[in-house]
Amino acid sequence: MRTKPTVTFNWNIVGFSFITLALAYGIWYSFSVFFVALLKEFHWSRSIGAGAFSLFIIIHGVIGPFVGGLLDRFGPKGVILGGSIFLGIGLALCSLVHTWWQFYIFFGVVTAIGVGSAGWIPNTSLIQQQFKEKRGLAMGIISSGIGVGILVCVPFFQLLITKVGWRTAYLIIAVFIPLIIMSMTIAFLKNPPTATPSSYIEKGISPTVARDPLVINKEWVSKPWTLRRAVMTKTFWFLSLSLILGNYVSQSIFAHQVAFFVDRDLPPLIASYIVGIIGIVSVGGKILWGALSDKIGREVTYTLGVICLIIGMIFLILFNRLPISSFPYFFAFFFSMGYASAAALPPLITADFFEGGAYGRIYGTLNMINNAGGAFGVWFAGFLFDQLGNYLPVFILSIACSLFSCLNIWWVAPRKIRMVSEKKG
């Protein structure tokens, strides 16, 4: 009798998370266009400029366990509202930057806290709580919001930078993006239902998880998972390594792609449109991979995404040697499909292993480790360019990391813990 209201609420949450992630991570992935503007004004080296983004990713990850703990205890409303405030303050301060260390603090620390508190961890936790079946589809839809953010925000922010300058652009987004997120949070997260009783949350136990018909390894799933218990398993660390390598690849390419294309004589606005293409293609890609993972399994789906990622980087290598105008667009399509898989599947795989009241802490910790790979990738790509004057070694190393990340998912083997929902029965 209460099924219908619950389902309606769940899909309202999907819509809320979709828009919130689009706005929060529109800021993340718009770094590449602000990066070019800052390099032009201050003449920083690539590694110095990219270091701010590396710090951003580190802080975004480091606060993950803390954000997860707050979510497990108090729910998402206060966490997301607090994150929105940090977001507005950080972006406003970015408009006042005159030195590299100021940018490191204002963008790399304050803004990162805002994105981390309002973004991925609270929203994926909401989906983990609200969906059992079709979880892959729901996760794919909300993560596709990041693609919409890339599509809309990156070209729009570049247009703002062109029209009014990067300082005013930061001020504009400092006002409007936090205001929209806060308004939606107040409207949609008034009284969210509790997924598990607080007594279970404190112990890390879900009262129904062991009776889940999708479960294959009941002994594993019936354990009262806590963060301490999870980090004592080889599964946790193999999964961590896979996520580190995957994020190393995606973030190093995202941070440096506009600079690479500008180096190859593409106008900055055209380069931003290519980033926008990645955004729009990844929208469908994340929904596709999430839903497909419910049908054919996480490992096979992740492998298909890695294949797309590698094809995309091959087009970058070709464009580095042959300035054929179509190559950046082929790169955008294939890279976005690969990135979509790497973005949509990790929270699903984590839930396959560690579903329960402590999911927020566990996934928050994995996300912290994951972000270490992205932070290092952003800085190391800039370092390699400064030393060698070319991004080619970055692309080759990224292909190798993608392959090893894929192998690790097969070694982790979520298929041995629970079957995907479409294979039930």
Q: What is the 3-state secondary structure (H, E, C) of 287-352?
A: HHHHHHHHHHCHHHHHHHHHHHHHHHHHHHHHHHHCCCCCHHHHHHHHHHHHHHHHHHHHHHHHHH
- Given pLDDT bands bounded at 50, 70 and 90, which one contains residue 202? very low
Q: Which residues contact 202 (CB under 8 A, 6 or more apart)?
A: 357
- Sorted by where each starts, the structural domains of the chain and their CATH numbers stand as 10-189+198-420 (1.20.1250.20)
- For residues 132 and 136, which has the higher predicted lDDT (pLDDT)? 136
What is the dihedral sign for C-alpha 215, 220, 226, 231? negative
pLDDT tens track for 53-81: 889 988 988 888 888 888 877 778 889 99
- For residues 63 and 1, which has the higher predicted lDDT (pLDDT)? 63
Q: What pLDDT does 310 receive?
A: 95
Q: Residue range 101-116: average pLDDT?
A: 94
pLDDT tens track for 282-329: 888 888 988 898 888 889 999 999 999 999 999 999 998 888 888 999
Per-chain mean pLDDT for the chain: 84
Q: Which residues, listed in sequence order, are joined to residue 289 by a DSSP beta bridge? A: none
Amino acid making up residue 176:
F
pLDDT tens track for 16-51: 999 999 999 899 888 888 988 898 899 888 788 888
Could you give the CA distance from residue 364 to residue 263 in angstroms, rounded to a whole number? 37
- For residues 311 and 144, which has the higher predicted lDDT (pLDDT)? 311
DSSP-assigned letters across all residues of 358-398: THHHHHHHHHHHHHHHHHHHHHHHHHHHHHHS-SHHHHHHH
Q: Residue range 135-161: average pLDDT?
A: 84
Residue in the block written with tokens 């094809």: 311
At 203, list the tokens: 């112990």
Spatial contact of 28 and 173, defined as CB atoms under 8 Å apart: no
Spatial contact of 247 and 370, defined as CB atoms under 8 Å apart: yes
Spatial contact of 380 and 249, defined as CB atoms under 8 Å apart: no
Could you give the CA distance from residue 52 to residue 386 in angstroms, rounded to a whole number? 16
pLDDT tens track for 323-364: 888 899 999 999 999 988 888 888 888 888 887 777 778 888
pTM of the model: 0.72
Spatial contact of 391 and 264, defined as CB atoms under 8 Å apart: no
The yes-or-no verdict on residue 126 having pLDDT over 50 is yes
- For residues 111 and 45, which has the higher predicted lDDT (pLDDT)? 111
Q: Residue range 171-191: average pLDDT?
A: 88
Q: Residue range 97-105: average pLDDT?
A: 94
- Given pLDDT bands bounded at 50, 70 and 90, which one contains residue 212? low
229-237 CB contacts, 8 Å cutoff, 24+ apart:
229/204, 230/353, 230/354, 230/358, 230/362, 230/365, 231/365, 235/353, 235/412, 236/353, 236/354, 236/362, 236/366
- For residues 224 and 91, which has the higher predicted lDDT (pLDDT)? 91
Could you give the CA distance from residue 385 to residue 366 in angstroms, rounded to a whole number? 29
- For residues 363 and 212, which has the higher predicted lDDT (pLDDT)? 363
For the chain, report the end-to-end CA distance as a whole number of angstroms: 26
Buried b (16+ CB within 10 A) or exposed e, 68-81: bbbbbeebbbebbb
The yes-or-no verdict on residue 205 having pLDDT over 90 is no
Q: What pLDDT does 85 receive?
A: 94
- For residues 9 and 293, which has the higher predicted lDDT (pLDDT)? 293
Using only C-alpha atoms, the chain has a radius of gyration, in whole angstroms, of 20
Give the DSSP letter of residue 414.
G
Residue in the block written with tokens 């979520």: 414
Spatial contact of 188 and 299, defined as CB atoms under 8 Å apart: no
At 369, list the tokens: 């480790």
The yes-or-no verdict on residue 1 having pLDDT over 50 is no
Q: What pLDDT does 423 receive?
A: 54
What is the dihedral sign for C-alpha 68, 284, 34, 253? positive
Q: In this structure, what are the phi and psi dihedrals at residue 66, rounded to the nearest 5 degrees?
A: -65, -45
Amino acid making up residue 117:
S
- Given pLDDT bands bounded at 50, 70 and 90, which one contains residue 257? confident
- The H or E element containing residue 56 is helix 46-62
